[in-house]
Structure 1
Amino acid sequence: MTTTRPVQVHFDDLDAMGLLHNSRYALLVERAVSAFWTEIGWHFDPAVSRFKDVFMAVKEFKITYHMPIMGAGEVQVEFWMEKLGNTSGVYGFRVLSADGSVVHADGHRVNVNLDPATFRPTPFSQETRDAAQVLLPTG
């Protein structure tokens, strides 16, 4: 199942031509995914997070650019989970125009859950798995 979050492109995200700099697309995806998890109780601080799994790192980020984003303003990031493994999860995403009619970029991102003491991969907790179900394909 997919979900979509609005994100803002700011003036300082733009390159000298007034286009969204290629490195900022990853930031837009990060903002959208973080907003989803924050809305359901995830927090960077383990003392206040609803989830035990708070230390995650991006292992891989692949993006294909289709149409530049020109200027500041709102865009949409649509995302879903393609797979949730033992210690890692794969997000698929599309960066869309504000009205959803233009696909600016798409790709995938792999996150790895880390043990806070060793920073080595560790299995996701059941609570994280349960919460992620709404992002996984049905059937």
Structure 2
Amino acid sequence: MVEVHFEDLDPTGVVHNSRYPLLLEHAFTAYWREQGWHHDPTRSAFEDSVQVVRALELTYHFPVMEPGMVAVRFWLERVGRTGYTYGFKLLSGDGAVVHAEGTRTQVNLDPATLAPAPLSEKVLAAAEPLTREARADRPA
């Protein structure tokens, strides 16, 4: 679950389209922080500390119309050598309404060169519960 704040609403009273990726980011970051990831490589359980978004596909279905909690369900559609692609749904707090869904691809970068770098075994192990087989409506 992630929280929608009043400041996320646009002048028409719905969550502005640009805020949906931020809500997703809150959910993804919460998962990875629970696994031991930290943006500071000296404090992270993983050497894969530089990961960037390569692509984001987002389809909006029904607007979020007020502050409160929404659910983000996500899983890994694909895991490659240097990155992975999430599948996700942003739902009402009770799960009855699909507000948006899509995919997000992330790439792991070598911190010195910023070139794509292989994912570590630790990241792959931490990502295992998110594989398509494990998605079973896992709430964030």
In the alignment, what sits opposite 1:97?
A: 92
2:51 to 56, 61, 78: 56
In the alignment, what sits opposite 1:128?
A: 123
Kindly provide the CA deviation profile for residues 40-96 of structure 1, in whole angstroms up to 9, marking residues without a partner as x: 111001111011101000000000000000011110100000011001100000000
Deviation, 1:138, is 2.8
Query: Structure 2 matches for 1:3-14, cutoff 5 A?
Result: 6-14=1-9
In the alignment, what sits opposite 2:138?
A: none
Paired residues, number: 134
2:65 to 64, 70, 75: 70
Deviation, 1:18, is 1.0
Q: Distance in 1 between matches of 2:76 and 2:132?
A: 7
**Does residue 38 of structure 2 align to residue 43 of structure 1?**
yes
**Does residue 78 of structure 2 align to residue 83 of structure 1?**
yes
In the alignment, what sits opposite 2:137?
A: none
Runs of 4+, deviation exceeding 2 Å: none
**Whose helix fraction is larger, Structure 1's or Structure 2's?**
2
Alpha-carbon RMSD = 1.0
Deviation, 1:16, is 0.3
**Does residue 112 of structure 2 align to residue 112 of structure 1?**
no
What's the TM-score, normalizing by structure 1? 0.94
Q: Distance in 1 between matches of 2:132 and 2:96?
A: 23
1:43 maps to a residue whose letter is H
